[in-house]
A and B are shown apart, each in its own frame.
Chain A
Amino acid sequence: MGRPTHLTDADVEQLGAELDALREEVMNSLGKEDARYIYRVLNTQRFSELAGRALLFAGILPPAWLAGTALLSVSKILENMEIGHNAMHGQWDWMQDPALDSATYDWDNTCPGREWKHSHNYMHHTYTNIVGMDRDVGYSILRMSEDQKWHPAFLAQPLYVLVLAAFFQWGVALHDLEWERLGKDKSYAEALSQGRDIWKKVRKQVLKDYVLFPALAGPMAPFVFTGNMAANFNRNVWSFLIIFCGHFTEQAEMFRIEETESETQGEWYLRQMLASSNVNGSVPFHVMTGHLGYQIEHHLFPDMPSNRYREIGPKVQAICERYNLNYNTGPFSRQLGGVAKRILRMALPHRRKRRGPMPSSIHHKQPARA
């Protein structure tokens, strides 16, 4: 693959071995404390959901509506990010608890878990930031890399990125339909059967939040309806922001398919590190992001229980420093600024496609000290 020129094959292999050892060490130490952590998150999420929905039934009082919406938003964010996303990665499979089993878990989102495991766990995590393979790059409506061809429609992307943020769960739900492949290497029949699965899930989600709970509230229906809508909106925007900060900051690297042919395990690790970016924050912040503030660690070890990313973060950073690699991290405001800049920059036609070695090899002139 194309990689920083200061690393030799042996360097990359050794980097891979160090990361394998780190993974092994953590995975062998999983136990009671980790189980206690995730059960505490599960209980918090369920309590805040019940309390939020109960308060919305008294939503005619503004403080009750606000508090109810806030609690329901927290519940939906926790469920999607710290529980659902991570359970569907198989992070908690070692516990053998059917409630956290990646094979059967489905999340509170219009995207069916099974579809999402294909587009996210497989396509995005295997082919991270490879233009044309990882459809998370631009979600097939945005231009996020010089390697994507410019078109005048992209001039409006600063506008429709806002629409994507507001309706993010719907974007994710329709994502795996891969409409741009239709009639080419994907049949309409396949898309139709996928569409039916998505519709089944969408129907249940819409029925719950926009019909049944409002109906149960009787005269309070409008308050429950708007509260649920606001909670879904908050969750959409929050997950959009965290996910975009994870891969589309200014320094996050993009790859071309020919750079990643016959990639070794070490090279795969290297690409995950260079393609991902972290966000600094407090422990509650990390819990609310599903620990995707540790996007680099998550991309190296997608099935490691998320609570351990905090512990290995500094170790991964130290490894990056030793190999003279960029460990892309910063406060939320800075990372978000980088994302905004990239969205704006890519809206404009770019002078020429990147050729030759990767940008990170330009940042790092010294040889690896490993």
Chain B
Amino acid sequence: MKPIIRKALKSSLAESLATPLSVDHYLGLIDSKLSVDEPRGRIAEATRQTPDSVTLTIEPNDNWTRPAPGQHILFGIDLDGVRHRRCFSIAGAPDENSLEITVKRNGDGAVSNFLVDNVEPGQLVYLTHAEGEFYPNASPPARALLLSAGSGITPMMSILRAWIAADELPDVVFMHYARTSADMIYEDALDRLADEQPSLELVKRFTSADGRISADTLDAAVPDLDERMTWLCGPAGFMDSVQPLLDARTTKPVFREQFESSRREAAHGEGEVHFVQSDVAASGDDGSLLEIAEQAGLNPPYGCRMGICHSCKCRVTEGTVRNLRSNEVQDIRDTDIQLCIHAAAGDVAIEL
């Protein structure tokens, strides 16, 4: 979009002519990727590096701003009529025009399974501007350890590629855990980089042969750990077992990135309800979320109390809820729900 056109479309005149809809609603008639300010994109390439992952190259519209190394986005895609949103780390270097993410199959996750099995170039995706403080440093440290497992490799790739692109690659040990060589995402790319860059030392560990991370393997691979800043990313179990090893060996900063939440899931479908804005916590054992809010002394808007009027719709930051009509249990994040027909089925954080 030419800057002058964008300026005209963002003007208050254009907004007044489109009211109560937005200019984007009309731009969608030309191309659904067009928007005056929302970053959206189309999938340009889908490459399967391993049997259970897919690397997507996305061509964003020009609302996309370049991310910092190690940042992530909320990625939205329509599947069977429903827009799903998931967080993914950006794997590409920040100065590339396109955007690269790699998605690993995640149990029975609807989005990851669809992307790994069926996604094709051309599909429209909804993006957010990149967020995250995994790499807060303006300049690289003298020595670094990038320690990852599974799909935790993706933000590492972004940091590594950013250093190389800026010609500022420090002395790096890149240590990665995968189940087997066939399961390792970015293995070829990393092998190539390790050949080209003398200051990059690549340590590949395959748990099916080498076992999980231990004090001995860490000491052997990174003897000068106490001189390195560390970036750590991987599944929750991996992170939990690495943290004490690092604590015992270094006082230098350790940066962590973790997407799997450590949320408690109660056995009988209860949990704790946290009302974020009023900073009140309540037990979610009895009643609908609306009743729990009221018992906690809050005063959320409501109407019919039977799920038909949508007056009590409220945003859940994160949590597990049970729909009282269908009994369906759902993990949700940044989603609006009707409080009167949902109960807690685990911990829930509500923006109230």
Contacts and interface: CB of A to CB of B under 8 A. Distances in A.
Contact of A101 (B26, B326, B336): B336
Contact of B308 (A94, A96, A126): A126
A175 interface: no
B265 to A, nearest CB: 23
A125 B304 contact: yes
Interface in B299-350: 303-304, 306-311, 313, 326, 335-336, 338
Contacts of B303: 117-118, 121-122, 126
B20 A204 contact: yes
Contact of B26 (A46, A93, A94, A113): A46
A103 B336 contact: yes
Which of the listed residues B17, B81, B311 has the most CB atoms from chain A within 10 Å of its own CB? B81
Contact of B81 (A95, A108, A265): A95
Contacts of B85: 96
A130 to B, nearest CB: 13
B83 A97 contact: yes
Interface of A: 24, 27-28, 30-36, 42-43, 46-47, 50, 88-90, 93-97, 99, 101-103, 106-108, 113, 117-118, 121-122, 125-126, 201, 204-205, 207-208, 212-213, 216, 265, 268, 302-303
B84 interface: yes
B29 interface: yes
A212 B307 CA distance: 40
Contacts of A36: 81
B191 interface: no
Given A101-B336, A117-B311, A96 B20 contact: no
A261 B310 CA distance: 23
B20 A107 contact: yes
A211 to B, nearest CB: 9
A208 B19 contact: yes
A50 B308 contact: no
A28 B325 CA distance: 12
- Per CB-CB distance, the 4 closest pairs between chain A and chain B, nearest first, are A35-B81, A122-B303, A121-B309, A106-B20
A36 to B, nearest CB: 8
Contacts of B17: 208, 212-213, 216
A43 B81 contact: no
A28 B19 CA distance: 34
A265 B29 CA distance: 43
Contacts of A31: 80-82
Contacts of B21: 108
B81 A208 contact: no
A370 B29 CA distance: 51
A207 B338 CA distance: 34
A43 B310 contact: no
30 contacts: A27-B326, A30-B81, A31-B81, A32-B80, A35-B81, A46-B29, A50-B29, A90-B310, A95-B78, A96-B82, A96-B84, A96-B85, A96-B335, A97-B78, A107-B20, A117-B309, A117-B310, A118-B303, A118-B311, A121-B308, A121-B309, A122-B304, A126-B306, A201-B20, A205-B19, A207-B16, A208-B17, A212-B13, A212-B17, A302-B308
Interface in B81-98: 81-85
Given A102-B313, A118-B303, A121-B310, 10 more contacts: A50-B29, A90-B313, A95-B78, A96-B335, A107-B20, A121-B311, A125-B308, A126-B306, A208-B16, A265-B306
A118 B303 CA distance: 8
A51 to B, nearest CB: 11
Contact of B16 (A24, A117, A201, A212): A212
A34 B82 CA distance: 10
Contacts of A216: 17
Interface in B50-96: 78, 80-85
B48 to A, nearest CB: 24
B20 A99 contact: no
A52 to B, nearest CB: 13
A262 to B, nearest CB: 14
Contacts of A303: 307-308, 310
Interface in B154-183: none
A205 B309 CA distance: 25
A207 B18 CA distance: 11
A121 B313 CA distance: 13
Nearest to B303: A122
A90 B311 CA distance: 10
A95 B83 contact: yes
A31 to B, nearest CB: 4
Contacts of A208: 16-17, 19
Contact of A122 (B25, B311, B313): B311
Contacts of A101: 336
A46 B20 contact: no
Nearest to B38: A98
Nearest to A53: B17
B299 to A, nearest CB: 15
Contacts of B26: 46, 50
Nearest to A30: B81
A46 B25 contact: yes
Nearest to B76: A96
Contacts of B82: 31, 35, 94-96
Nearest to B302: A122
Given A24-B326, A34-B81, A121-B309, A43 B16 contact: no
A113 B309 CA distance: 12
Contacts of B78: 35, 95, 97
B350 to A, nearest CB: 14
B95 to A, nearest CB: 30
A213 B13 CA distance: 10
A217 to B, nearest CB: 12
B81 A32 contact: yes
